[in-house]
């Protein structure tokens, strides 16, 4: 069969179009990246060798726990202190307690934390109205992030054994608490304190310096 010239031209056009279609790269739809999230850290598994008390120490939700008496802890208990356990891998939580490391059991660091004496009674030392402080005052403070005036507002809680807690009320809304024993020595990890003259305790924490009058700590 002989094709007419128009038919030949039509078939040629169809073939050319087919070849052109085949030569085009395959179009793919853009893929939307799937966001990835890090899996949540598994909660710490407290070992069965320890008797865990409460849901956090010193406050609820904290990573450490008060530890009761078992065969693994009987040698570490002290009537004047709390035995506290923290995950041994959490160095920050362990250090923040400020107690004495006494051992480690199954991945738990054991810390003996002295119990705090109660606050002096209001009859013995009145409180500032609307607060738990026995006194408020400005104390000397210098260092990065501290007021350029060299003064910080502070409140003190005085305790029955002459220890004291001084809370600094900083401009950024954050607070820092300095704890002192009955001799005026700081209990805070990483801090050191010295007497400056006869009536001021100077506390150094890194580049920060705080000058706390002894009259503010103990009254009088």
Torsions phi, psi for 106 (to 5 deg): 50, 50
Is residue 23's pLDDT more than 70? no
CA dist 181 → 34, 58, 115, 164, 201 (Å)? 56, 19, 12, 7, 12
By three-state DSSP, how is residue 5 classified?
Answer: helix
Check: CB of residue 156 under 8 Å from CB of residue 220: no
Confidence bin at 61 (pLDDT 50/70/90)? confident
Closest CA to 45 of 106, 101, 111, 112: 106
The pLDDT tens digits of the residues spanning 172-183 come to 666 778 889 889
pLDDT at 15: 47
Is pLDDT of 121 > 50?
A: yes
Neighbours of 44 (CB within 10 A): 16
- The confidence score (pLDDT) of residue 122 equals 92
pLDDT in the model for residue 19: 46
Residue 12 backbone phi and psi in degrees, to 5: -65, -40
Per-residue confidence band for 42, with pLDDT thresholds at 50, 70 and 90: confident
Cα gap 141→209, rounded to integer Å: 6
Average pLDDT rounded to a whole number, residues 3-9 = 47
pTM score: 0.57
For residue range 141-154, what is the model confidence (pLDDT) as tens digits? Answer: 999 888 899 999 99
**Which range is least confidently modeled, 9-13, 64-68, 174-178?**
9-13
| Most confident among 39-43, 129-133, 174-178 (mean pLDDT) | 129-133
Q: Is residue 137's pLDDT more than 50?
A: yes
Instruction: Report the distance separating Cα 178 and Cα 186, nearest Å.
Output: 7
Helix (H, G, I), strand (E, B) or coil at 141: strand
């Amino acid at each position: 069969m002989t094709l007419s010239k128009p038919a030949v031209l039509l078939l040629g056009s169809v073939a050319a179009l087919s070849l052109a279609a085949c030569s085009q790269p395959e179009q793919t739809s853009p893929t939307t990246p799937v966001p990835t999230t890090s899996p949540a850290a598994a909660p710490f598994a407290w070992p069965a060798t320890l008797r865990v008390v409460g849901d956090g120490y010193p406050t609820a939700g904290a990573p450490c726990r008060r530890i009761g008496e078992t065969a693994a802890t009987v040698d570490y208990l002290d009537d004047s202190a709390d035995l506290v356990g923290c995950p041994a891998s959490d160095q920050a939580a362990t250090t923040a307690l400020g107690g004495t490391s006494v051992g480690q059991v199954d991945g738990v660091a054991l810390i003996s934390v002295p119990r705090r004496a109660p606050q002096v009674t209001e009859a013995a030392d009145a409180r500032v109205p609307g607060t738990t402080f026995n006194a408020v005052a400005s104390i000397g403070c210098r260092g990065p992030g501290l007021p350029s005036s060299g003064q910080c507002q502070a409140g003190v809680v005085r305790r029955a054994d002459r220890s004291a807690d001084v809370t600094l009320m900083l401009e950024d809304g954050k607070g820092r608490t300095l704890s002192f024993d009955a001799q005026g020595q700081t209990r805070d990890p990483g801090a050191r304190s010295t007497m400056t003259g006869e009536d001021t305790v100077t506390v150094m924490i890194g580049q920060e310096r705080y000058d706390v009058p002894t009259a503010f700590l103990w009254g009088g």
